[in-house]
Amino acid sequence: MIRLVLFDIDGTLVSTGGAGTQAFAKTFATEFNLHHGSEKMKFAGRTDVSLVREFFKIHGLDESPAHFRQFFARYIFWLDHIVAQSAGGACPGVFEIIRELQVLPNPPTLGLLTGNIQLGAEIKLRRFGLWEKFAFGGFADDHEDRNHIAVAALERGRRVLGKELQPQEIVVIGDTPFDVRCGKFIGAKTLAVATGGSKLEELKKCDADWAVADLTKISAREICPR
């Protein structure tokens, strides 16, 4: 039985019209007077902390805790401002699959597994009425590496649902090979959805348990069979 379903955010739950990328660029420009480099970076499937570290390396900036704190304090300001004006929205099928999961005879707990820092995740999901749907999550605050964010989410799940929660009772849903990889890292089932950073053909090669064009192409009962 599936007891926990963990969702990625960007490209899986919502599209923000590139708000995160814009907030990164604005923060580097306003806080560090660095105006170039982020346009060359690949954001899909990455963690916020790893992206900031890459940018610091590009510009030879000290990767100190103080610089990370300085970045994220300002990033949250810009993200909130930009997301508020975003014309994005929930990805296809998101509200429907959440509703289906919630009305199953034995509904799983819904959580997050994301490369966003927690406050960034909250800003993005609140904008589109989704934050309250999730009980807890694993975030970039927990670890720079997405695989270990998955470990943090599993540990949190065991605190909420009981220490007997098994990896095979978890489904990880995401839109990139990184999401599939981190799900497999903790032994969970994986659902890859081609609404974000990767094409369906690419996702099918990742050996996910399911790979679909979007969340309208799968039902809650397929994800959580009796």
Give Cα 137 to chain centroid, integer Å: 9
Convert the pLDDT of each residue in 148-174 to its tens digit: 999 999 999 999 999 999 999 999 999
Average pLDDT of the segment spanning 107-135: 97
Give the confidence band of 39 by pLDDT, cuts at 50, 70, 90: low
User: How many other C-beta atoms lie within 10 A of the C-beta of residue 164?
Assistant: 8
**Strands 210-212 and 14-15, how do they pair?**
unpaired
For the chain, give every domain's residue range: 4-16+89-223, 19-84
Convert the pLDDT of each residue in 206-221 to its tens digit: 999 999 999 999 999 9
Quote the CA–CA distance of 51 and 41 in Å, as a whole number. 8
Tell me the helix, strand and coil percentages in the chain, rounded to 5. 50, 15, 40
pLDDT averaged over the chain?
93
Residue 112, CA atoms < 13 Å, CB-side half-sphere? 29
Alpha carbon distance, N-terminus to C-terminus of the chain: 7
In this predicted structure, the answer to whether residue 35 has a pLDDT above a threshold of 80 is: no
Question: Which CATH class name applies to 4-16+89-223?
Answer: alpha beta
Quote the CA–CA distance of 149 and 161 in Å, as a whole number. 18
